Amino acid sequence: MKKLFAFALVTVLALGTMGLAGCGGTDEPAEEPEAPAEEPAEETVSGSITVGGSDTMVNLGQALAEEFMNAYDQVDISVTGGGSGTGIAALINGTVDFANASRAMKDEERDQAEDTNGVAPIEYVVAYDGIAVVVNPDLGVEELTFEELGAIYRGEITNWNEVGGPDKEIVVLSRDTSSGTYVFFLEHVVQAEDKEAVYAADARLMPSTQAIVDETIANDAAIGYVGLGYVVPEVNVVKIDGVEASVEAVQDGSYNVARPLFMYAAVDPVGAAKVFIDWVVSADGQAVVADLGFVPTD
């Protein structure tokens, strides 16, 4: 009896094992899961970039360089001032990768680039700028017409009492001749009515925008012009035809002493230089433009 029970138990276990084996399906091995595709490695951006030129843009250029180098730590960017003309000359001579300029390149400069290096410089508009007319807050002059501003800089109006101010000789401050702002102000303001007009003979030509700011703070009879990014509380911004220079006034066109700011390359940028200029005109670069008090391009 015990033998019969044992035989039956073995039979049941054997049948159960066969049933489990049948439930297992095919004998083919299970497919291995596909490995996720590897993403291509991001190309490392590295190298050195040199930028020179406009004093109006030197602070902006340094801020752009610093932000870019924070994102691309294997790139080194050197930014110097000296004036738009100086930067463009360096570009033509091949000593900088980019020239900052607060004016457009002149035809003769383009011709020189073609004759010297056989290249046609490439222009990038990287920001817009309003030219703020500034005086010492103690002067008490809050507004000028566009015509009065031109007459002051041509030397036709020489005393502040001619435009509602105190009886003081006007001290005219201008950038020096290497400055793109000098050229823009000459063509747009000084020569607005007479293309042969020149700056007043006694105009003081200052070596930098900061020098104009410092002299205006120190001299209560001075008048100067600076980019929006250089306006400080210690100077008074004069309204021109009732409009004060501001980002909003430049954007809506109500302030007419305004201009684009440029970066020039001698040839199509490649490598780190291309990544840099593409970044400058991108939303990231234009955020820096706005932070510095200039007007973004979009």
Q: What is the pLDDT of residue 2?
A: 40
Which distant-in-sequence residues (6+ apart) come within 8 Å of 231 by Cβ?
132, 134, 237, 245, 293
Q: What are the C-alpha distances in Å from 22 to residues 19, 224, 259?
A: 5, 96, 84
pLDDT of residue 229: 87
The greatest distance separating any two alpha carbons of the chain, rounded to the nearest whole angstrom, comes to 137
Give the rounded percent of residues in the chain with a pLDDT score beyond 70.
86
pLDDT tier at 18, thresholds 50, 70, 90:
very low
3-state secondary structure at position 72:
coil
Output the average pLDDT for the chain: 88
Q: What is the pLDDT of residue 24?
A: 43
Q: Which pLDDT value is given to residue 13?
A: 36
- Per-residue pLDDT band at 16 (split at 50, 70, 90): very low
Residue 113: the pLDDT is: 93
- Output phi, psi for 246, to 5 deg: -160, 165
* pLDDT the model gives residue 25: 43
Lowest mean pLDDT among 12-16, 65-69, 224-228, 281-285: 12-16
- Closest-CA residue to 280 (of 12, 39, 23, 79): 79
Query: Around 64, how many Cα atoms within 13 Å sit in the side-chain half-sphere?
Result: 33
Contact 140, 165 (CB under 8 A): yes
Query: Alpha-carbon distance 4 to 242, whole Å?
Result: 117
Buried b (16+ CB within 10 A) or exposed e, 80-115: bbbbbbbbbbbbbeeebbbbbbbbbbeeebbebbee
> What is the predicted pLDDT for the residue at 23?
41
pLDDT at site 118: 84
Q: Domains in the chain, start-ordered, CATH in brackets?
A: 48-128+260-291 (3.40.190.10), 129-258 (3.40.190.10)
pLDDT at 22: 42
> What type of residue sits at position 105?
M
Q: Has residue 296 got a pLDDT over 70?
A: yes
Report helix, strand or coil for 260.
strand
pLDDT number for residue 220: 96
Mean pLDDT calculated for residue range 97-101:
98
pLDDT of 36 above 90: no
Q: What is the pLDDT of residue 119?
A: 82
**Coil, helix or strand for 124?**
strand
CA-CA distance, 31 to 18, in Å (whole number)? 24
Dump pLDDT digits (tens) for 105-123: 999 999 999 988 788 999 9
The residue-averaged pLDDT of 165-185 equals: 96
User: Which is it for strands 47-53 and 75-82: parallel, antiparallel or unpaired?
Assistant: parallel
- 187-237 tens-digit pLDDT: 999 999 899 999 999 999 999 999 999 999 999 999 999 999 899 999 999
pLDDT at position 150 over 80 = yes
- SS3 state of residue 209: helix
Cα 23 from chain centroid (whole Å): 71
* Calpha distance 264→97 (Å, rounded): 8
Q: What's the pLDDT score for residue 168?
A: 98
CB 141 within 8 A of CB 165: yes
**Whether residue 258 has pLDDT greater than 90:** yes
* pLDDT at residue 8 greater than cutoff 50: no
Query: Given this model, what pLDDT does residue 117 score?
Result: 79
